[in-house]
Structure 1
Amino acid sequence: YPRLQLTGSIGRGWVKTGGASVTSNTWSIGPLALSVPIFDAGRRAAQVDAAQARYEAAASRYRAAARGAVAEVEQALARLASTAERSGAARRAAEGYRQSFQATQARWSAGLASLVELEDARRTQLASETALVALEQERMAAWIALYRAAGGGWRRS
């Protein structure tokens, strides 16, 4: 780009000799310089192109990061909704297997069921409760993933 420069100076002097003193004020303006680059072998155009390319790259990285963040939030919300839907069914199943075990235990106490049936009912009840705990763990992991994806103060150590 063209450039215009104007320089100047202001000064004050005081001289004392013998008993006489002289004060002088001086000022000057100039020189005036005008620089107009006419031929720079395409340097300015190349700088403009490089700046435009850096801008496009930064904008592309920003858009990719924003899309990634939105995708992470969507995935966390989907996992959270999935665990919420399965939670009710898992609770009902665990309660049903608990009641089945109690009924099998009452039958075993009365001599109407074998020990194998009792242990099978116990195993099934424990498996359903384990699945319920695993589902709760999955739900907590989904909440943590959502919190992290939303930028909730997550720090890597």
Structure 2
Amino acid sequence: MYVSYNQYDWNPWLPLAEFSYNNSDHSSTKQSLFFTFYGRDPHFDSVHITEDTFAGNLSTKIQSVQKDVKRELVVSINRAKMYADRSRESPPVFNPGDMVWLSSKNIKSTRPTKKLSEIWPGPFPILKKVSTHAYNLNGSPSTQSSIFPY
């Protein structure tokens, strides 16, 4: 960024950094926070501003800060992904016909108290693989669905 070596002039840059952050598209929403809040992109037309004015200098600074913030967001996203991927493991591969136990954590029990219900009912045969993390089970205790995510 544009903070001096001694880091004493960071506060004048906060509004520009905030504007740039709020105007950049975010990975989860695929739109900027400004657009999410106001329903439109901000009116910022730097095409008609000449470079020899204060507005031109400000425009150049804003564009530079926006570029830097977008670059830093990409670096931050990649860093977060790197740390998240450290603890990720490949899902186990199950095939139709395999017998599996089912976690009853998200299954509504018909018994008076969930504490006394089976924690791992089964084993149940796999009928088919729905996706990389979901399987269709035969004879499962849930009447809502026979598809369960891993």
Flag the structure with more relative contact order, 1 or 2, with Cα contacts below 8 A and sequence separation at least 6: 1
Give the TM-score normalised by structure 1. Answer: 0.27
More strand by share: 1
- Greater Rg, structure 1 or structure 2? 1
More helix by share: 1
Give the TM-score normalised by structure 2. Answer: 0.28
